[in-house]
Structure 1
Amino acid sequence: MTTNVSQARRSSRHLQRTAIHAVMIALSLISVFPVYWMVVSSLRPENALFSTSLWPSEISLDSYRFVLTRIPLLRMLVNTTVMAAATTACQVLTGLLAAYALARWPMRLSAVVHGVIAVSWLVPFQVTMIPNYVLASRLGLLDTLTGLVVPNAIAAFAILFLYHAMRSFPAEILDAARMDGAGSWRVLWQIVVPNMGAPLASLAIISFISAWNEYFWPLMLSRTPENSVVQIGLQMFMTQEGNLWGPLMAAAAIISLPILAIYLFLQRHIIESFVKSGIR
């Protein structure tokens, strides 16, 4: 009797694992299929662009040649990489300093300051886009990478994210460091930062992807393709006369390569940082 019950339980667990894996495989295929279809569409000749076959009967690189000769895509990729990296560095640095000040130097109005930062996070960037544009225009930052970075150099999300991570940092370690004569600057860079690798990595990844996908602000600020970013380059293949689907898919495939390469190279670190930081 006991043997039958054990076998039934093992069989039930096996069925559950099989069902879970089947669902995960199905969801993975659904997630990957748009990327696969983008690549396949970019390899189709123009006369077979709307074919529903899963693999093109004839592979053509005309769409890629058209993209690379029609717009300065490689220059846009460099601009986007520089802009995203600079924005990420600024957000992580400013968020780290502000979060450390809020978490370790409590004052009478700390709750008010925290509330103001939280409220500013809820305000969409589109609301402040016009004032930022006027300010950038007066400072001579139109059509520059600096103008793309400066309005996003400080992010309320980064401050709140690191603030809550620092609140869970053991206060005993900081007190021991101060008793040994370490100043606040030394405590931050030699004790706090080395032990906050997971939250900092998670924030850097989120900030980089968000900056890479930015569209509305570069659309307002950019004037020339040479000083623009890849999202604006994609929009150039969508016109009132019609969309150039082949070149659009080819450009999207090229633009996706850096993000995919970063993920494949840092896959283990990315997953580990997200798990340790509590992001699900």
Structure 2
Amino acid sequence: MTTDALSAPTTGFAVRPRRRARRLGNSPAFGHVLMALLSIFCLFPVYWMVVTSFRPANAIFETSLLPTSGSLENYIYALNAIPVAQMLVNTLVVSAAVTVIQLATGLFAAYAFARWRFPFDKAIYALVALTWLVPFQVVMIPNYLIVARLGLLDSIVALILPNFASALAIMLLYQTMRSFPREVIEAARMDGARSWRILWDVLTPNLRGILASLAILIFISTWNEYFWPLLLTRSAENSVIQIGIQMFMTSEGTQWGPLMAASTMASLPILAIYIVLQRQVIQSFMKSGIR
């Protein structure tokens, strides 16, 4: 009796904090506060980059959150040091071309794997899926030799050529097409529709969500590509903005002001895309996973 009487209040006292912690964790206000703190944590590097880009050279290493003085000298220096506009255009052309080409080849390949039967189709699909696990750095040298023998070094075409197909796009579209109702496709075939018409008129309109998600992922990944353009390009006029940013980092030191200014200008198109297509960007990472 004495032991039970002493243990009862202690048990009740231990349960109450747990209930309070569960209620606090399940409350919407706690979730909103947590997300706000995480958002500030994630956005702070972007904010610091923009603020540093406006600091003059004598105040570049200030630690104040707000700049004591603002100047456009870093942007002027960056625009004069490298062809920023041309590099941004090159990056945009390469990213858009790679996105369109990979979506097209992904659609064709996924439709073939999902709706056609041919010898060794499963083995070929497994090989395609395995290529996604191979880092691009492994095949970079063979691709470089092919591009060099074609005489395409230091050109925009060379940046696009090795990226004609994406295993990620093929796999995601393949899984989506496999789950598409067969009755709809059979009805289209009974109406006389061929494979081309089924793909474009029946399947593609119902794949807008996954196509938009893939387009965003491919575009952002190509925009941020660095190693392949570094290996191929020789002149700044035929290079991309990521190589231009690296030009401010030399063995003599890093020019932090122009570097931050160029990084800000390179980030503006991606930030604009994210603001406009925020929902699709989030869905793309939810569907495909963070790479």
> What is the TM-score of this pair, normalised by structure 1?
0.92
Corresponding residue of 2:118: 107
Q: Secondary structure at the match of 1:127?
A: coil
The answer to whether residue 82 in structure 2 is matched with residue 71 in structure 1 is yes
The answer to whether residue 68 in structure 2 is matched with residue 57 in structure 1 is yes
List structure 1 segments (4+ residues) > 3 angstroms apart after TM superposition: 11-15, 268-275, 277-280
Listed as ranges, the matches of 1:8-27 within 5 Å are 12=23, 16-27=27-38
1:123 to partner: Cα distance:
1.0
1:270 to partner: Cα distance:
3.9
Measured in 1, the distance between the counterparts of 2:133 and 2:200 equals 30
Q: Secondary structure at the match of 2:27?
A: helix
Measured in 2, the distance between the counterparts of 1:203 and 1:188 equals 18
**Cα deviation digits, residues 119-147 of structure 1 (max 9, x gap):** 11111111111111111011011011100
Corresponding residue of 2:242: 231
Measured in 1, the distance between the counterparts of 2:262 and 2:85 equals 10
**Cα deviation digits, residues 85-106 of structure 1 (max 9, x gap):** 0000110000110000000002
Query: Contact conserved, 2:153 with 2:232, CA < 8 A, in 1?
Result: yes
The answer to whether residue 255 in structure 2 is matched with residue 244 in structure 1 is yes
Measured in 2, the distance between the counterparts of 1:75 and 1:23 equals 41
1:52 to partner: Cα distance:
0.5
The answer to whether residue 276 in structure 2 is matched with residue 265 in structure 1 is yes
Query: Contact conserved, 2:226 with 2:243, CA < 8 A, in 1?
Result: yes
CA RMSD of aligned residues (A): 1.9
Residue identity matched to 1:258? P
The answer to whether residue 96 in structure 2 is matched with residue 92 in structure 1 is no
Count of residue correspondences: 271
1:267 to partner: Cα distance:
2.7
**Cα deviation digits, residues 190-240 of structure 1 (max 9, x gap):** 000000001111111100001001000000100100000000001100000
Q: Secondary structure at the match of 2:139?
A: helix
Residue 212 of structure 2, aligned match among 201, 209, 224 = 201
Corresponding residue of 2:10: none
1:161 to partner: Cα distance:
1.4
Measured in 1, the distance between the counterparts of 2:284 and 2:258 equals 36
Measured in 2, the distance between the counterparts of 1:200 and 1:167 equals 15
Q: Secondary structure at the match of 1:52?
A: coil
Corresponding residue of 2:8: none
Query: Contact conserved, 2:24 with 2:30, CA < 8 A, in 1?
Result: no
Q: Larger C-alpha radius of gyration, 1 or 2?
A: 2
Measured in 2, the distance between the counterparts of 1:270 and 1:208 equals 11
Corresponding residue of 1:157: 168
Residue 126 of structure 1, aligned match among 132, 137, 143 = 137
Corresponding residue of 1:214: 225
Corresponding residue of 1:145: 156
Corresponding residue of 1:29: 40
Residue identity matched to 1:56? P
Query: Contact conserved, 2:172 with 2:288, CA < 8 A, in 1?
Result: no
Q: Secondary structure at the match of 1:125?
A: coil
Corresponding residue of 1:5: none
Corresponding residue of 1:3: none
Measured in 2, the distance between the counterparts of 1:278 and 1:229 equals 27
Please list every run of 5 or more consecutive structure 1 residues that lacks an aligned counterpart in the other structure.
Answer: 1-7
1:107 to partner: Cα distance:
3.0
Question: Which segment drifts farther, 192-201 or 107-116?
Answer: 107-116
Q: Percent identity?
A: 55
Measured in 1, the distance between the counterparts of 2:179 and 2:187 equals 16
Q: Secondary structure at the match of 1:142?
A: coil
Query: Contact conserved, 2:25 with 2:31, CA < 8 A, in 1?
Result: no
1:162 to partner: Cα distance:
0.9
**Cα deviation digits, residues 1-45 of structure 1 (max 9, x gap):** xxxxxxx99x93796222211111111000100000000000111
Q: Secondary structure at the match of 2:138?
A: helix
Measured in 1, the distance between the counterparts of 2:174 and 2:27 equals 40
Measured in 1, the distance between the counterparts of 2:150 and 2:213 equals 33
Query: Contact conserved, 1:197 with 1:273, CA < 8 A, in 2?
Result: no
Measured in 2, the distance between the counterparts of 1:181 and 1:85 equals 35
